[in-house]
Structure formats: structure tokens, C-alpha cells
Structure 1
Amino acid sequence: MGIIKKTIYTTALTGTTFLAYLGAATTVISPLPDGDPLLRSKIYSKHNQHHNASTQDVAIKRIPLDKIRPELLAKDGDLALEFCRGVWGGLGYRIQRAYLAQKYKNAETAHQLWTVEQLNSSKYEPKTIVTDHFEVVSKTANEITVRCGDTPRNPAPRDSDGLFVIGAEVDKKRGEAVLSLKSCFFNSGKKVEGIQGPMPGWIEELHRWYSRILLETGSWRTRTTWV
């Protein structure tokens, strides 16, 4: 009993410490500013044709450039791509990846990205599908945008829809790399009245902490060291 009690206490303390670190090391802004490029993009207009209210946020992490792997700063696009690989192939996505693989990995979906090796090496070109849940719909030097909310095998409008933007850019003035995960979730299947997004408040809060975890663990792949 003493060992079990000690294990539970240690686990809780470790989790609390990690969450405290995430809160200090990352910033979350919600909702997105009115002029945010995602909200004015053709991709957003295409998928949210009813202009329904959405759940929006962006998680941001700044890292000094001397802690970023130098080779990722030599060519435009390399930092964003490597960060994207870190998000999907990293520790933060392992549980969801395993769950989706158990449910949806089969002969029909075998061509998608499932293994850590695949996720860590993909170039994430448009139409790339990650674990039957995320499909790359846009790629630029600084951002890789995926559609989420349902299987990409259902390309039609749907009740659960959204866009997830994985971004990385260099702030030369401050000498920092700026990594970000931007989310926008909405119902694209029908017109929904009101100004409230599709997520209840408590799910929004859990989602934001999950974004922080993906942001942090994804950043490890871009760094010379984890700390």
C-alpha cells in the first residue's frame, strides 16, 4: 500500500510540475484576433461556408535561436517542416496515434502515415493523411495546415470540422524562433445560429492543454537540447 501511495503521489507531483512548466513556457491566445490570416484565408472560407461560430486559439512558444539546430535555419521551410514532424512523431501525439491506429488502421488506410518513422520523415505535402484524422490542405515555407475533425475519407462538409495550423518563423529582431499551433473548429455541415463555437468550455480547456503538450514535445525535434 505504501508503494502504491508513493507512486500515485509522485505521479501527481510530476504531472503538476509539468503542467506548471507548460503554463510558463507556452502562451495561449483565444479567440484569434479578428485580422488573423487563417480567418481571412480561402481555406477557411472553403470549409466554413456557413460562416458558423468557431472555437479558436493559438499556442505559442519562443525559443532562442542558439538553441535551435543550426541546419534548420539555413533554408526557408526547414524549421516549419521539422517542427511538424516533431508534432506528429513526438511523444505528445503517441497516445492518440495508438488509439487511432487501433481503430482505423486497415487495408483501406494503410497508405497513410501511421508509424513514428513515417511521421518523422514525411515532407507533409498537400493531401498527405496522418492517422486517418488529419489531412494536409496547405503548405508554405512557414505553415503547414491540416483539416481535422473526421476521417479525410469523408471530404464533404460535416458536423465536426476544423483547421489546425502548424507554424514556425524566425523573429530576427528578438533572436528567437516562434513556434505555434493554431486551431479553429466549427460545424461545416449546416448553418448553426449563435456565437458559441462547437466545443463546451471544459473541452476547450482540455484542448488548449493538449495543444501546449503537442507544441512543447514537437519543439524538442527542432532543438539542440530539450531544455
Structure 2
Amino acid sequence: MGLITKTIGLTGWASLAAAGTFVAFTRKSRIENIPPTDYIFNSTLFRRYNPNNSPVTQDICIRRVPLATIKPELLEAEGKLAEAFCAGVWSGIGFRYQRRFLEKKWRGSKTADQLWDQKDLAASSYDVGTKLVDHFEVVSKTPTSIIVRCGDSPTITEVRESDGLFEMTAEIKTEEGVAEFGLKSVFYNGLKGFEGTDQPMPWHVQWLHQLYDKVLMESAVRTLKP
């Protein structure tokens, strides 16, 4: 996720123009803190990959979309909206730069079983065990949620220095006439010896990550429209 820092470096009038475009593009998404009582902090996954309960950098990006603006077929079968949203995150234009960056570094015979191409990322149902771009692995899937482990190669299965859980959620709220989408991020250093230290991301890196989350959210939502 930190690759967003490589994409934001404009200056002068170009920066102002880019900032205006960004605000317009992401104005409907909002960033919030994850409550300490959230289930993810009490999950088996969190305890397994952060066994020392090291400090976390966390946030959630939320976007509400009218049901009338979503492809009807995605609302008919349970779980289809979450799958399509997840596919939109990884196959959408927002992830294009990071996908190409990781592809140049890590695509090869040892990672041939992973998802790399845009068409495959768009078509996947993201079942548990699915690996993508040598940086993410699906570790949990329900009708409304898909969680990937992130931060390093999925070929490294033990506790890692750079680690995290990234959850994509899609909840249909029929009475309100909307679908609510979420991108929940929890990052940490899973190794022993970091208990009681500062969170793994400094504030400015987390801020850039939050901007990136908004871009991923908007590009994913666009793939759900008729």
C-alpha cells in the first residue's frame, strides 16, 4: 500500500490541478477510525498474524452507493456484490500502477499460480487461498466480506515484519436503498519486540495511504455500475 508515496510528487500549478481533480473524484468517500471493539481485532486471523499484539496503523474508508445505480444481477445472489466489489478493487484503474510495479518486480515462474492480469483479477471469485500480485492472499470470505493478508509475499507464511489485514466489505441496506462499501486496513509489525512502540506507519504515510484507499474505493465502485 505504501506505493502511493511514489505516485504523489507534483508541484506548483500541477499540484493544485491534481488536488482539485482528486477531491472531486473521491468526495463521496470518508475515512474513519476502526473502533477498538471491531471484530477484526478479536479475530483468529489477527491473533495468528500479530501474536505479540503489536501496535497497529488502522482506518476504514466508507462509501454509500444507491442500489439503483448498481448492476441488478449483483444484488440478486448472496455474496455476489462483495465478490464484484473485491474484483473492482484489484482490477480497477486505481490499482493499475501498483499492479504493474509489483508485476515488474515479482512476476515469474515461482508466482505463476497467482493473479496478475487485469482480466483475471476482474473475473476471480476470490475464494480463500487466492493469491494476487505476490502481495495479497485471501484468508477469509463471507457473503459480505473478503479479507486479504497483505504487507509481504504470500509465500512467506510465518509471522512477518511487514504485515496486515485488508478487508473489503459490501452490505446491502434495502430499507435505506443503498449499498455500503468498506475498505478496512490494519497494519502492524508481527515480530516480537515491538510491543508498546509507536504504530508502524508515521502520520504522513498513513495520510497518503488514506488517499490511496479513496482512489481504490472510487475506481472499484465504478466497476459496479451498469
Moved more, 148-157 or 21-30: 21-30
Once residues 110 and 82 of structure 2 are traced to their aligned partners in structure 1, the CA distance between those partners, rounded to angstroms, is 30
Moved more, 37-46 or 193-202: 193-202
Once residues 59 and 183 of structure 2 are traced to their aligned partners in structure 1, the CA distance between those partners, rounded to angstroms, is 8
How far off is 1:18 after superposition? 2.6
Identity %: 38
Instruction: State TM-score, norm by structure 2.
Output: 0.91
Corresponding residue for 1:77? 79
The residue matched to 1:38 in structure 2 has which SS? helix
Extract unaligned runs of 5+ from structure 2. Answer: 1-10
Extract structure 1 runs of 4+ deviating beyond 2 A. Answer: 8-14, 21-24, 193-196
Moved more, 169-178 or 9-18: 9-18
Extract unaligned runs of 5+ from structure 1. Answer: 1-7
How far off is 1:222 after superposition? 1.1
Residues 191, 22 of structure 1: CA spacing in aligned structure 2 closer, same or farther, 3 A cutoff? farther
Amino acid of the structure 2 residue aligned with 1:88: W
Contact 1:159 1:190 in 2 (8 A): no
Contact 1:54 1:184 in 2 (8 A): yes
Amino acid of the structure 2 residue aligned with 1:149: G
Flag the structure with larger Rg: 1
How far off is 1:173 after superposition? 2.5
The equivalent position to 1:156 in structure 2, one of 152, 155, 158, is: 158
How far off is 1:194 after superposition? 2.2
Contact 2:52 2:195 in 1 (8 A): no
Amino acid of the structure 1 residue aligned with 2:186: C
How far off is 1:195 after superposition? 5.5
How far off is 1:53 after superposition? 0.9
Once residues 88 and 121 of structure 1 are traced to their aligned partners in structure 2, the CA distance between those partners, rounded to angstroms, is 10
Give the paired residue count.
216
How far off is 1:191 after superposition? 3.1
Residues 27, 195 of structure 1: CA spacing in aligned structure 2 closer, same or farther, 3 A cutoff? farther
Once residues 89 and 26 of structure 2 are traced to their aligned partners in structure 1, the CA distance between those partners, rounded to angstroms, is 18
Corresponding residue for 1:194? 196
The residue matched to 1:191 in structure 2 has which SS? coil
1:16 paired with 2:19, answer yes
Once residues 110 and 175 of structure 2 are traced to their aligned partners in structure 1, the CA distance between those partners, rounded to angstroms, is 48
Once residues 67 and 9 of structure 1 are traced to their aligned partners in structure 2, the CA distance between those partners, rounded to angstroms, is 37
Q: Deviations over 1:109-154 (max 9, x none)?
A: 0111000011011111111101000000011000110000110111
Match runs of 1:77-96 below 5 Å: 77-96=79-98
The residue matched to 1:138 in structure 2 has which SS? strand
How far off is 1:205 after superposition? 0.4
The residue matched to 1:180 in structure 2 has which SS? strand
Amino acid of the structure 2 residue aligned with 1:89: S
How far off is 1:14 after superposition? 4.3
